[in-house]
């Protein structure tokens, strides 16, 4: 039988025992199992979800830099161009490396062609982390559906630790934001968010809502408070 040593939304520290038992499972990279115990690896808020008769225990980080993981979708900013690769700021202690093979589907000759034709310094991109092992900088790709250069909309930056709260359980928060504002939203795991809105007013309301989520991430009932905030702002502005 599960024993829970912390309630949901309690603050835990690295090494704290959150739960114990055969019917508790770690959810995510910020907790790990030691025997029958689930141990916290970082400082954060406990999140507990019942699923198929078990408790899934995870942590919402309070602070911390973005550490890449293979498979992550990130929003990067091209900072430098080499002969056969781009260096990309991914809001992390590590810079992303995007090779020409992960951009083009045709042969590339650096003697006769320039990478600037395809991506230039200052361009934002949606990319996927292909590989990262801390021994070398993360390798990125923009080959795949929904990946590539960003040519419209705006970029909003939040703390990477707030990303799970912006997304919400099973996408509840981000789906609510899109429904209430009519905006398109892509949340990068590195804390950058690409938004495209029908009007300037709706974009401003969405940005204010994201800032509210970032500031109040540790509180309960946040989704409904943000929903009410959006509706009040839309009513006030007449949009």
Q: Decide if 3-61 and 73-149 have a common fold.
A: yes
Q: Which residue has the tokens 């359980």?
A: 169
pLDDT digits (tens, 9 = 90+) for 111-161: 888 899 999 999 999 999 999 986 789 999 999 999 999 999 999 999 998
In the chain, what percentage of residues exceed pLDDT 90? 71
- pLDDT score of 230 more than 90: yes
Residue 104 DSSP label: -
- CA 72 to CA 61: how far, in whole Å? 17
CATH 3.30.565.10 is the classification of domain 3-61:
no
Widest Cα–Cα separation across the chain: 67
Whole-number mean pLDDT of the chain? 92
Which overall architecture, per CATH, does domain 73-149 show? Beta Barrel (2.40)
pLDDT digits (tens, 9 = 90+) for 175-222: 999 999 999 999 999 999 999 999 999 999 999 999 999 999 888 899
189 contact partners, CB below 8 Å, separation of at least 6: 66, 69, 72, 73, 74, 160, 163
What is 154-237's CATH number, 3.30.1370.10, 3.30.420.40, 3.30.70.100, 3.40.140.10?
Answer: 3.30.1370.10
Residue-range domain boundaries for the chain: 3-61, 73-149, 154-237
Can you give the pTM of this predicted structure? 0.78
Q: Where does the chain show beta strands of DSSP type E?
A: 3-4, 11-12, 17-20, 24-26, 31-34, 37-40, 44-51, 54-61, 73-81, 85-89, 96-99, 124-131, 139-141, 148-149, 154-157, 184-187, 192-196
Q: What is the C-alpha separation between 219 and 89, in angstroms, rounded?
A: 31
């Amino acid at each position: 039988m599960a024993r829970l040593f912390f309630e949901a939304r309690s603050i835990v520290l690295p090494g704290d025992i959150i739960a114990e038992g055969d019917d508790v499972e770690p959810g995510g990279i910020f907790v790990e199992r030691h025997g029958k115990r689930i141990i916290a690896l970082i400082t954060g808020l406990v999140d507990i979800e019942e699923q198929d008769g078990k408790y899934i225990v995870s942590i919402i980080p309070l602070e911390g830099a973005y550490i890449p993981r293979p498979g992550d979708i990130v929003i990067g900013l091209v900072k430098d161009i080499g002969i056969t690769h781009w260096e990309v700021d991914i809001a992390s202690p590590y810079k992303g490396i995007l090779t020409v093979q992960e951009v083009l589907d045709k042969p590339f000759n650096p003697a006769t062609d320039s990478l600037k034709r395809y991506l230039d310094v200052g361009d934002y991109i949606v990319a996927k982390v292909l590989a990262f092992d801390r021994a070398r900088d993360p390798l990125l790709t923009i080959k795949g559906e929904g990946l590539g250069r960003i040519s419209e909309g705006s970029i909003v930056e939040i703390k990477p630790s707030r990303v799970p709260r912006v997304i919400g359980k099973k996408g509840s928060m981000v789906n609510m934001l899109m429904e209430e504002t009519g905006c398109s939203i892509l949340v990068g795991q590195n804390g950058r968010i690409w938004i495209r809105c029908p009007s300037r007013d709706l974009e401003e309301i969405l940005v204010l809502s994201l800032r509210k989520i970032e500031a109040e991430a540790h509180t309960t009932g946040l989704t409904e408070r943000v929903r009410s905030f959006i509706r009040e702002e839309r009513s006030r502005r007449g949009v």
